[in-house]
Structure 1
Amino acid sequence: MVDVVVVYKIDRLSRSLMDFSKLVDVFDANDVTFVSVTQSFSTTTSMGRLTLNILLSFAQFEREVIGERIRDKFAASRRKGMWMGGNVPFGYRVENRKLLIQDEEAAIVRSIFERFLQIGSATILARTLNAEGLRRKNGKSFDKGLLYKLLSNRVYIGEAVHKGTSYPGEHQPLISQDLWDNVRSIIAEPPRKRAGHCRRQTPALLRGLIFAPSGCAMTPAHTRKKGRLYRYYVTTSVQKLGPESCSVRRLPAGEIEAAVIDQVRVLLRSPEMIVKTWATAREDGDEINETEVRDALVQFDALWEELFPAEQARIIQLLVERIDVDVGGITIRLRTEGIASVIAELWERPNLG
C-alpha cells in the first residue's frame, strides 16, 4: 500500500501536463498524497491546483525548449559534417567522436559496390558473400535488404545526412562518386528490367574454349521465341559455309555447360589431378600439402553453385584449356597451373584459412 509519493520538485515526476494530470487522478482515486519537498501547495484547494498547473506548464515548456535546443545543435553539427553517434556504419570505426576507416571492413564495402555494379543482383551478391564466409559487424550473415541499405548509405561517399539532406562529412569516403552514381542508376531501374539486364549480361561460360570436330571454334548465339531466350553454341564454319560443313552444328548452351561443369568436378576430385595440382603448387613455391589441396577442391565443388555467373565464367577460363565436342561426347583438357591458381584463391577465403 502506498500512502504518500514524495518528490524533490514536481517536474521530477513528470514534465508533461497531461501525464501529470492523469497521475494526480490515480493518486486521488487511491487516497495517495502527493508531496513536493521544495514547493509548498495543497492539491485539495482550487488555488493549489492552479499553482500546480502553472508549475507543470513551465516544466513542460522548459522540457520542450531543451528539446528544441538539442535538435538545433544536432542539426548544426550534422551540417558541419560531424558524427553524432548512432549505429557505426560497416567499414568505419569511431575514435574521439570521429568516423575513421576500418580497413578490413572497408575492403568488403568496396567489393560489394563493385560486385553489385557487375551483376546487378543483391540476392546473388548476398548469397556469394555468405558463401565466402563474410559477416557483418554483429557476426550475422548478409541479406538482400541489408545490402540495399548499405548501397544507399551516403556516408560511403563522405557525406553526412540529416532529415534527408546531405552535407559534406568530416570523414573520408570509401568509394568514388562515379561508382556511387553507377550503382544508384542500377538500383533506380525497375526490378524486372534489371533482372533482364542481368540475364543479358551473363557471360557465355565456354566462350573461346569449345571447338567442333572440324577444329573450328564454337561461338555463343541466341534466339528469342515467344518472349523466351534460347542460348546456343554454334560452329563458326556453319555460320559461314552452311550446316553441311560440320557434323555438330549447334549445341544448347545450358546442356553443354552443365555437362562440362559436371566433368570438371569429377576431374578435379580425381587422385591424379590432386597430385598434379599439388606438384604444380610446390613448384610455384606455395607451402601447401596434398591434404590441403584435396580439401580446397572439395570446397570448390560445394561452393560452385553459390558463385555468380561472372565468377563462374572466370574460374572456368582459369581451369579449362580446351573442350573438344564430337557426336560421341566431349573431351576436356584442364590447366594444371590454373587449378593451382584457383586453389590459392580458395585457400585465402575466410572459411578455409
Structure 2
Amino acid sequence: MHAILQVSPRVRVNRTQNTTAPLLLGLIFDSDGRAMSPSHSRGRGGQMYRYYVSQAVLKGGATERPAIARLPAGEIEAAVIAQVRALLLQPEMVVGTWRAARATAPDVTEREVLLALERIEPLWEELFPAERARIVRLLVDRVDVQAEGAAVRPRLDGLGSLVRDLAARAVEAGKAAA
C-alpha cells in the first residue's frame, strides 16, 4: 500500500484511465446512425485528451460529415451518466425494472426494486471505473447524439439484472453484519 501511495495521484489516475475501456464503447452513435469510436490525442506535457469520433470521419469517404463528428469523452460520458442516474428513479423505470426483475425473481417486490435503485445514487461516486462501466452497459442500450443533445435508450432487461445484483449484495451485507 505504501508503494502505491508513493506514486503521484495524477500518474495513478492516468494509469487507471488508460487501462479501463471507454465507457460508451459500442453504445454511442452519431446523427447519421454511424458508430462513434473512442480516440485520444496527447497535448503538451503528455496530457491525454479523450474523445469519441464518428466512423464517417475515421474512415473518410462520406460525402457529408455528421452534425457532430467529434465529442469530448469526459463531457458526453458525464451527460450520459447524469441521464442514467435521473432515469433510474422515474416511476415508469421503477415499474419496468420490477417487471423485468420478476422474470427471474418472481418474489421481488416493487418496493425492493425502488430501494435497490435508490441505493445506486449515493454509491455511484465510490464505484471503480470498471464497475461504473459495467452498470452503464447493463442500463444503456444506445446513445444517439444529435445537435440538440444526446438521447439515451435504456435497457430494461439490464435494469432487472442490476436489481438482482444489488439485492444479492444487500442480503450478503446483511448476513455479514449479523
Distance 1:346 1:240, change over 3 A: same
Distance 1:190 1:331, change over 3 A: same
- The correspondence for 2:20, drawn from 182, 187, 202, is 202
Contact kept in structure 1, 2:100 and 2:159, CA below 8 Å: no
Deviation sequence 1:8-67 (CA, Å, 0-9, x none)? xxxxxxxxxxxxxxxxxxxxxxxxxxxxxxxxxxxxxxxxxxxxxxxxxxxxxxxxxxxx
Q: TM-score, normalised by structure 1?
A: 0.45
Verify: 1:254 aligned to 2:80, yes or no.
no
SS of the residue aligned with 2:52?
Answer: strand
Matches within 5 A, 1:166-205: 191-192=7-8, 194-205=12-23
Verify: 1:326 aligned to 2:146, yes or no.
yes
**Percent of residue pairs bearing the same amino acid type:** 47
* Higher RCO, Cα 8 Å, sep 6+: 2
Q: For structure 2, list consecutive stretches of 5 or more residues without a partner in the other structure.
A: none
Which residue identity does 2:162 align to in structure 1?
V
Please state how far the C-alpha of 1:340 moved relative to its aligned partner. Answer: 0.8
- The correspondence for 2:130, drawn from 310, 316, 321, is 310
Please state how far the C-alpha of 1:330 moved relative to its aligned partner. Answer: 1.3
Q: For structure 1, list consecutive stretches of 5 or more residues without a partner in the other structure.
A: 1-147, 150-186
Q: Tell me, in whole angstroms, the C-alpha distance in 1 between the residues paired with 2:149 and 2:34.
A: 16
Deviation sequence 1:123-144 (CA, Å, 0-9, x none)? xxxxxxxxxxxxxxxxxxxxxx
Q: Tell me, in whole angstroms, the C-alpha distance in 2 between the residues paired with 1:267 and 1:237.
A: 30
Q: Tell me, in whole angstroms, the C-alpha distance in 1 between the residues paired with 2:78 and 2:106.
A: 32
- The correspondence for 1:211, drawn from 26, 29, 32, is 29
The runs of 4+ residues in structure 1 deviating greater than 6 Å are none
Matches within 5 A, 1:210-249: 210-227=28-45, 228-241=47-60, 244-249=64-69
The number of residues matched between the two structures is 169
Verify: 1:269 aligned to 2:80, yes or no.
no
Distance 1:281 1:218, change over 3 A: same
Which residue identity does 1:259 align to in structure 2?
A
Deviation sequence 1:241-279 (CA, Å, 0-9, x none)? 279421111001111111101111111100001011111
Q: Tell me, in whole angstroms, the C-alpha distance in 1 between the residues paired with 2:61 and 2:108.
A: 51
Q: RMSD value over aligned CA atoms?
A: 2.2
Deviation sequence 1:93-143 (CA, Å, 0-9, x none)? xxxxxxxxxxxxxxxxxxxxxxxxxxxxxxxxxxxxxxxxxxxxxxxxxxx
Map of 1:282 onto structure 2: 102
Structure with larger Rg: 1
Greater shift after overlay, 319-328 or 343-352? 343-352
Which residue identity does 1:237 align to in structure 2?
A
Q: Tell me, in whole angstroms, the C-alpha distance in 2 between the residues paired with 1:257 and 1:283.
A: 30
Verify: 1:341 aligned to 2:161, yes or no.
yes
Please state how far the C-alpha of 1:350 moved relative to its aligned partner. Answer: 4.1
Which residue identity does 1:247 align to in structure 2?
A
SS of the residue aligned with 2:113?
Answer: helix
Q: TM-score, normalised by structure 2?
A: 0.86
Please state how far the C-alpha of 1:217 moved relative to its aligned partner. Answer: 0.2
